[in-house]
Amino acid sequence: MLNLLLGFASIACAAVMLAGVAFAQPSTPADDGQWTMPAKNFENTRYSGLDQIKINNARDLRVAWTFSTGVNKGQEAAPLVVGDSMYVVTPYPNILYALDLKQNGAVKWKFEPEPAAAAQGVACCDVVNRGCFFDKGKIFFNTLDDNVCAVDANSGKLLWKTKVGEINKGETMTMAPLVVHDKVLVGNSGGEFGVRGWLTAVDANSGKIAWRGYSTGPDADCLIGSEFKPFYESDRGKDLGVKSWPPDHWQIGGATVWGWISYDAAQNLIFYGTANPGTWNPELRPGDNKWACGVFARNPDTGQARWFYQWNPHDEFDHDGVNENIVVDLQVDGRTRKTLLAAQRNGYVYVLDRTTGEVLSATPFIRITASKGVDLKTGRIIPNEEKKPQIGKVIRDVAPASPGAKDWQPCAWSPRTHLLYIPHQNLAMDYEGVEASYIEGTPYLGVNVKMYGNGGGKRGEYCAWDPVQKKKVWAIEEDFPVWSGTLATAGDVTFYGTMDGWFKAVNAKTGEVLWQFKTGSGIIGQPTTFLGPDGKQYVAVLSGVGGWAGAVVSGDLDARDPTAALGFANAMKDLPQHTAKGGTLYVFALP
Amino acid sequence: MNQESKTKRMVGTALRFRSHGVAHPTQSFVRSCMPYFLVLLPFLFFSCEREERTLVVQPPSAQEASLPQVSDLAPGPQHNKAPSVSNPDENNSWMMAEGKRFYEAYNCVGCHAHGGGGMGPPLMDEKWIYGHEPQQVYATIVEGRPNGMPSFRGKISNDQLWEIVAYVRSLSGLTNQWAANARDDHIKGAPPPNSVPEGTPHNSSEPQP
């Protein structure tokens, strides 16, 4: 412990000297050993205060037990731990399992919501589910066919089920809910189908819809009223969700809400991003296309919007803005600021003032050709005119590619190292605009895409980012996109998985790989850590390749067609030689 | 197939067209292919062949009873093999090129890409869940399939449907190779349909000879 502390102290000193940063924050919040929501906490740090697994003993990790989910599609969910139970939700058909931690994961009960089979056809990027949420004795989760379920955490009995969307329009649900003040906050997927995006609050006790805030359309629909005070001029004005589109196009304008929601209790505000505008082809929708590709701050009780910032006005490349906004206080120019930290799809790590939505910094974390930076005066990203999409023309070397520099796979933030751990991909693409016809329930795309490695680099990376210094501290290159989540711990060990099946423990300070284990299939899940009933620290992760990146395996796609999986298949041609489908939970511990 | 399972197979997702009053290129598709007479115009030049089509297939609003049989499976000793029909479009380059155009315009391409698949399964490989015979592919498109293939019943004219069927089958080399598309105007890098590598397609419900 002592040498650990000393080590930590010297790193801290170095960092302080470099950055002039004072470690004002408490280094380790108390931890009860549970993991009750996918992001670990409302701030979305995915940081656990557990420290039994450390830099100097992680090499001894071994499998404690495993569990087959029985579903061979992309496993993106986070295994939750509440008391002596673990809760895991599978991809379609969205089976919810309760496992007994006292009996090496024996099944306590399982709940099968039986979603409509047809939902599989309108799920853009494999039939994934990003996890469930525990609050006050209930487990909440979404089904692919747009039902929000509340299940009794003890008995596995369905308490209520509320249908909030329509698969015949192309709406599905893949995100994990967040529950604040008895409001179950959920959003839709389907930006590839020209659906209309929304965030909906469902009452945790009755299952009744409390409010819905749309991401396009008139202010009244978007719950934009007198409390709305966006920082930038371009977000002020009446009904911009209508006026920033060609007539009526907002009705099929996308801007879905399929990513992460974070919550700042002090301000009583939730933060969440909106996805790409409807039809990927930007020529068909001149205008800023509000409120797509941005971040909303809203009051969770009423849904009323407080501020909005648009990462990509008039998005050109499917650079959704749904990545997690981590609530963390940072030293910016010598001043402690209440910030949001977000590694966005467009390739920038953003630091925003979370009270106003002002951009404090935006720094590229991969090679970017699609844009030339972010103007900090206007807050607007500066598009690269040379890469402007055109109907009938193939634009080459657009970086990042459509899945962005980082897609759904969530980062972790360690208050000990003050580093952001970013699992991400490094891809560029050829992009060709074509005509798009809107036919309800079918894709509304209007582009042909073909992806490949960015600038000759490897296709994936796991890196540690210092948001104050605005630079990468270390990086581990990976052959395939790093499509798994990550977690950080008080033992200064972080974890992530690779698409060819390796689960890795990393020294949070140096990026040294301390231990790795080859699981049965590629890993795209979110690792979690917890204290078992025996008082020991465990680490859990689902193995089972899929998702957009792994669809070439989970969907048996034919990569001779480079445009398969919306162009992702071209970059993943060799994945089938490295991994096969799977669906197994792995739980690790020290001996 | 018994009646119950047949009804189950009808559950393809319903579709609705919507025009959203914007004069942009989106509309040109609707303008160009909704008035069928425009599309049918060229048929005047091919009409002799057309008249003699052997298929007895009703327009998309067909009665259930006259729908093509979807599976070879039948209870009892007498196997009711699906009648083999030939699709004249499969010998005609122009028809197959039209099929490709409709395949893109009706957004098949969004779910199946240019044959490699995505939300829907690949159509250029040798695996067929619901059969590769022309009438089976036709039935798939018209009826929809339970795991997310929408039903295009009433959305696509019969002539267009057979052209799409021809194009879909050409993706895995099942049509006349001399007639299949030889080039692609788009980003594509997949082998064009007339040079898809050899391979015997197999039908899940048909034993191999």
Instruction: From residue A495, give the alpha-carbon distance in Å to each of A48, A147, A483, A502.
Output: 12, 32, 13, 11
Which among A362, A227, A238 is positioned nearest to A290, based on CA atoms? A238
- The secondary element (H helix, E strand) that includes residue A18 is helix A2-19
On average, the pLDDT of chain B sits at 69
Q: Do A192 and B110 touch (CB under 8 A)?
A: yes
The pLDDT tens digits for A344-395 are: 999 999 999 999 999 999 999 999 999 999 999 999 999 999 999 999 999 9
Of B30, B120, B187, the CB nearest to A432: B187
The pLDDT tens digits for A509-562 are: 999 999 999 999 999 999 999 999 999 999 999 999 999 999 999 999 999 999
Q: Distance between CA A145 and CA A173 in Å, rounded?
A: 7
Whether the pLDDT of residue A5 is over 60: the answer is no
| pLDDT computed for residue B181 by the predictor | 79
Percent of chain A, pLDDT > 90? 95
Percent of chain B, pLDDT > 90? 42
- The secondary element (H helix, E strand) that includes residue A243 is helix A240-243
- In chain A the first and final C-alpha atoms are separated, in Å, by 19
| pLDDT computed for residue A19 by the predictor | 41
The pLDDT tens digits for A301-342 are: 999 999 999 999 999 999 999 999 999 999 999 999 999 999
| pLDDT computed for residue A58 by the predictor | 98
Three-state SS string across A193-214, please? Answer: HCCECEEEEEECCCCCEEEEEE
DSSP string, A262-280: EEETTTTEEEEE--PBSSS
Of B13, B120, B186, the CB nearest to A167: B13
The pLDDT tens digits for A453-471 are: 999 889 999 999 999 999 9
Residue B23: band (very low, low, confident or very high) from pLDDT cuts 50, 70, 90:
very low
Show which residues of A are catalytic: 192, 276, 318
Q: Do B20 and A251 touch (CB under 8 A)?
A: yes
Chain A residue closest in CA terms to B171: A561
Looking up tokens 């939300």 gives B119
| pLDDT computed for residue B86 by the predictor | 87
- Interchain CB contact of B192 with A (< 8 Å): no
Q: Do B189 and A562 touch (CB under 8 A)?
A: yes
| pLDDT computed for residue B43 by the predictor | 42
Q: Distance between CA B60 and CA A30 in Å, rounded?
A: 65
Indicate the domain borders of chain B. Answer: 62-68+85-170
- Interchain CB contact of A356 with B (< 8 Å): no
Main-chain phi, psi angles of B193, to 5 degrees: -50, -30
Whether the pLDDT of residue B125 is over 60: the answer is yes
Whether the pLDDT of residue B34 is over 80: the answer is no
C-alpha dihedral sign at A114, A119, A121, A122? negative
Alpha helices by DSSP H, chain B:
3-9, 25-33, 36-40, 47-51, 93-105, 108-112, 134-143, 158-170
| pLDDT computed for residue B74 by the predictor | 57
- Which is higher by pLDDT, A408 or B181? A408
Q: Do A437 and B115 touch (CB under 8 A)?
A: no
C-alpha dihedral sign at A373, A375, A380, A383? negative
Q: Do A489 and A48 meet the contact criterion of CB atoms below 8 Å apart?
A: yes
CATH superfamily of B62-68+85-170: Cytochrome c-like domain (1.10.760.10)
Q: Domains along chain A? A: 2-42+83-589 (2.140.10.10)
Quick one: average pLDDT of A77-81? Answer: 98
Whether the pLDDT of residue A51 is over 50: the answer is yes
Whether the pLDDT of residue B15 is over 70: the answer is no
- Interchain CB contact of A391 with B (< 8 Å): yes
Q: Distance between CA B188 and CA B94 in Å, rounded?
A: 20
Q: Do A118 and B147 touch (CB under 8 A)?
A: yes
Q: Do B121 and A556 touch (CB under 8 A)?
A: yes
- Interchain CB contact of A73 with B (< 8 Å): no
| pLDDT computed for residue A32 by the predictor | 95
Comparing A193-197, A405-409, B23-27, the range with the smallest average pLDDT is B23-27
Whether the pLDDT of residue B61 is over 50: the answer is no
Q: Distance between CA B129 and CA B146 in Å, rounded?
A: 11
Main-chain phi, psi angles of A109, to 5 degrees: -160, 165
Quick one: average pLDDT of A121-146? Answer: 98
| pLDDT computed for residue A44 by the predictor | 98
CB-based burial, A208-226: b 16+ in 10 Å, e otherwise: ebbbbbbbbbebebbbbee
Looking up tokens 């799809």 gives A345
Which among A373, A266, A263, A415 is positioned nearest to A324, based on CA atoms? A263
Chain A residue closest in CA terms to B151: A441
What the block records as the tokens of B103 is 């395949």
Quick one: average pLDDT of A410-438? Answer: 97
Whether the pLDDT of residue A290 is over 70: the answer is yes
Residues 6+ apart with CB under 8 A from A493: A53, A54, A55, A58, A505, A506, A507, A508, A514
- Interchain CB contact of A175 with B (< 8 Å): no
Whether the pLDDT of residue B9 is over 90: the answer is no
Q: Do A495 and A505 meet the contact criterion of CB atoms below 8 Å apart?
A: yes
Quick one: average pLDDT of B38-55? Answer: 43
The pLDDT tens digits for A28-38 are: 457 999 999 99
Q: Do B113 and A441 touch (CB under 8 A)?
A: no
The pLDDT tens digits for A235-248 are: 999 999 999 999 99
Q: Distance between CA A35 and CA A485 in Å, rounded?
A: 15
Please tell me whether residue B103 adopts helix, strand or coil conformation. Answer: helix
Q: Please identify among residues 437-476 of chain A the ones whose CB lies closer than 8 Å to any CB of chain B.
A: 437-446, 448-450
| pLDDT computed for residue A2 by the predictor | 43
Neighbour-count burial of A183, counting CB atoms closer than 10 A to its CB (0-12 exposed, 13-18 middle, 19+ buried): buried
On average, the pLDDT of chain A sits at 95
Residue B52: band (very low, low, confident or very high) from pLDDT cuts 50, 70, 90:
very low
Most confident of B19-33, B67-81, B147-161: B147-161
Residues of B in contact with A446 (CB under 8 A): 26
Q: Distance between CA B137 and CA B120 in Å, rounded?
A: 14
ipTM over 0.90: yes
| pLDDT computed for residue B204 by the predictor | 36
- Interchain CB contact of A434 with B (< 8 Å): yes
Percent of chain A, pLDDT > 70? 95
Q: Please identify among residues 80-109 of chain B the ones whose CB lies closer than 8 Å to any CB of chain A.
A: 104-107, 109
Whether the pLDDT of residue A150 is over 90: the answer is yes
Give the CA radius of gyration of chain A: 22
Q: Do A562 and B188 touch (CB under 8 A)?
A: yes
| pLDDT computed for residue B48 by the predictor | 41
